[in-house]
């Protein structure tokens, strides 16, 4: 074998080994991430941080002037903003993403299988809870748009659609105020085997409390219906206005009655000089035995008065049932 042929073989073997190493490193650094490793080299808009690979095939971060901020010790990095990076945990075995600051400090735990950018300031993070996928909504600075773990989340042309159980919400994402302006709500609150529903469109929302307050009011109303028809165990005393406690404890009036369904038809914020108060009007359907012992379906309007206390929690402050013509707490 002549010398020229030996040199050619050596060059080819070297090229093959280099190519194999590069492919292995690429697969290892981005395996299962669902995001292209090339993305890690692209700074966020306006970012002064550059991501770079080390000789070990891992990733680090440095300033535009070359000062190293984070040594190359991460299997995956991506810029979320000028101060926040998406990182993958260093075990290299499973996809486990979290958020770190550009000084390497952990900002958000490594809980997620993916971070997807919808806009520069709107990211959807995916995690698994009890075998099902949940979604968290993040700002680019690592803070959350909402506290909920949503069952589904999608943003199209600035319109956000999310679901939670049997409830669904639609809203507009406002980059300037960094808030979600909800435009349509459909909520269902469990009352044992039955549900209390709330449907609100954009027109009604303009005259109502915030979506978060509506959810709390609906939750409190559902708890009260469960007390009346299911458990018959008095609510927590801390949640009952002492001045009207006898009026709130009305379960004995519904002995033998079976709830069939309920819908919130109206919510009114009361004008008060003290803590905020709300009237929650419900259309309730239940079954009871009449004087002849026959099953009778009753449809009635119920009004529940709720008030914020000094800690911000909701307290039951009055109750009435129009069918019984009994008015409590001064409500009509």
Q: Work out the average pLDDT over 227-236.
A: 92
Distance CA 64, CA 52 (A): 11
**Residue 96 scores a pLDDT above 90:** no
What's the mean per-residue pLDDT of the chain?
83
Given its phi and psi angles, is residue 57 left (phi above 0), alpha (psi -120 to 50 degrees) or beta? left
Q: In what order do the strands lie in the sheet with 49-53?
A: 49-53, 59-63, 68-74
Lowest-pLDDT choice from 4-18, 43-57, 220-234, 306-320: 4-18
Among the listed residues 82, 160, 144, 156, the one whose alpha carbon sits nearest the alpha carbon of residue 112: 144
Burial 57-87 (b: 16+ CB within 10 A, else e): ebbbbbeeeeeebbebebbbbbbbbebbbbb
Give start-end residues of each CATH 3.10.450.50 domain in the chain: 176-332
> Could you give the 3-state DSSP secondary structure of residue 14?
helix
153, 174 Cβ separation under 8 angstroms: no
Can you read off the two tokens belonging to residue 302? 């119920």
d(CA 87, CA 76): 5
Closest listed residue to residue 216, CA positions, set 328, 284, 307, 281: 307
How many residues comprise the chain? 332
pLDDT at 56: 84
Query: With left for phi above 0 and alpha for psi between -120 and 50, is residue 10 left, alpha or beta?
Result: alpha
- pLDDT reported for residue 332: 40
DSSP bridge pairs for 277:
270, 307
Work out the average pLDDT over 111-140.
94
Sorting pLDDT into bands at 50, 70 and 90, what band is 95? low
**Could you tell me if 194 and 259 are in contact, meaning their C-beta atoms sit under 8 angstroms apart?**
yes
Percentage of the chain beyond pLDDT 90 is 56
pLDDT category at 2 given cuts 50, 70, 90 is low
Between CA 120 and CA 81 the distance in angstroms is: 8
The reported pLDDT for the residue numbered 14 is 54
pLDDT for 249 beyond 70: yes
**What mean pLDDT comes out for the span 225-250?**
91
Specify the range with the lowest mean pLDDT, choosing from 12-16, 70-74, 197-201, 214-218: 12-16
Output the CA torsion sign for 125, 129, 133, 136: negative
**Using alpha carbons only, how large is the chain's radius of gyration in Å?**
29
CB-CB contact of 171 with 181 (8 Å): yes
Please give the structure tokens belonging to residue 188.
């269902």
Give φ, ψ of 248 to 5 degrees: -75, -35
CB-CB contact of 209 with 215 (8 Å): no
Rounded Cα gap, residues 202 and 208, in angstroms: 10
288-322: burial string, b at 16+ Cβ within 10 Å, e else: eeeeeeeeeeeeeebbbbbbbeeeeebbbbbbbbe
* pLDDT number for residue 31: 36
pLDDT above 90 (res 115): yes
**Has residue 3 got a pLDDT over 90?**
no
159-183 pLDDT, tens per residue? 999 999 999 999 999 878 888 999 9
Q: What are the distances in angstroms from CA 276 to CA 16, 244, 267? A: 73, 17, 13
Q: Output 90 or 246, whichever has higher pLDDT.
A: 246
Written in H, E and C, the secondary structure of 107-125 is EEEEEEEEEEEEECCEEEE
Please tell me the CATH code under which domain 176-332 is placed. 3.10.450.50
- The predicted structure's pLDDT at residue 303: 95
The pLDDT, as a whole number, for residue 130 is: 83
pLDDT band at 290 (very low <50, low <70, confident <90, very high): confident
What is the per-residue pLDDT for 129?
82
């Amino acid at each position: 074998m002549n010398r020229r042929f030996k040199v050619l073989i050596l060059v080819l073997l070297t090229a093959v080994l280099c190519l194999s190493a590069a492919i292995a490193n690429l697969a290892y650094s981005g395996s299962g991430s669902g995001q292209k490793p090339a993305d890690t080299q692209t700074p966020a808009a306006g970012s002064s941080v550059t991501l770079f690979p080390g000789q070990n095939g891992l990733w680090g971060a440095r300033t535009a002037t070359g000062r190293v901020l984070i040594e190359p010790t991460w299997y995956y990095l991506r810029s979320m903003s000028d101060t926040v990076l998406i990182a993958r945990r260093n075990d290299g075995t499973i996809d486990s993403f979290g958020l770190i600051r550009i000084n390497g400090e952990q900002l958000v735990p490594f809980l997620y299988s993916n971070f997807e950018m919808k806009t520069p300031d709107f990211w959807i993070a995916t995690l698994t809870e009890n075998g099902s996928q949940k979604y968290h909504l993040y700002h680019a600075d690592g803070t959350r748009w909402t506290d909920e773990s949503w069952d589904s989340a999608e943003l199209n042309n600035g319109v956000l659609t999310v679901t939670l159980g049997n409830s669904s919400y639609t809203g507009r994402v406002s980059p300037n105020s960094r808030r979600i302006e909800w435009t349509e709500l459909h909520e269902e609150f469990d009352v044992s085997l039955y549900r209390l529903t709330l449907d609100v469109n954009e027109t009604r929302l303009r005259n109502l409390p915030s979506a978060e307050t509506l959810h709390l009011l609906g939750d409190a109303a559902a708890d009260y219906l469960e007390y009346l028809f299911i458990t018959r165990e008095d609510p927590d005393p801390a949640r009952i206005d002492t001045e009207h406690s006898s009026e709130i404890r009305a379960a004995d009036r519904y002995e033998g009655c079976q709830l069939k369904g309920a819908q919130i038809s109206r919510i009114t914020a009361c004008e008060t000089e003290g803590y905020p108060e709300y009237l929650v009007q419900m259309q309730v359907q239940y079954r009871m035995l009449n004087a002849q012992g026959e099953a009778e379906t009753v449809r009635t309007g119920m009004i529940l008065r709720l008030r914020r206390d000094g800690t911000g929690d909701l307290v039951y402050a009055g109750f009435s049932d129009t069918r019984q013509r009994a008015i409590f707490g001064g409500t009509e």
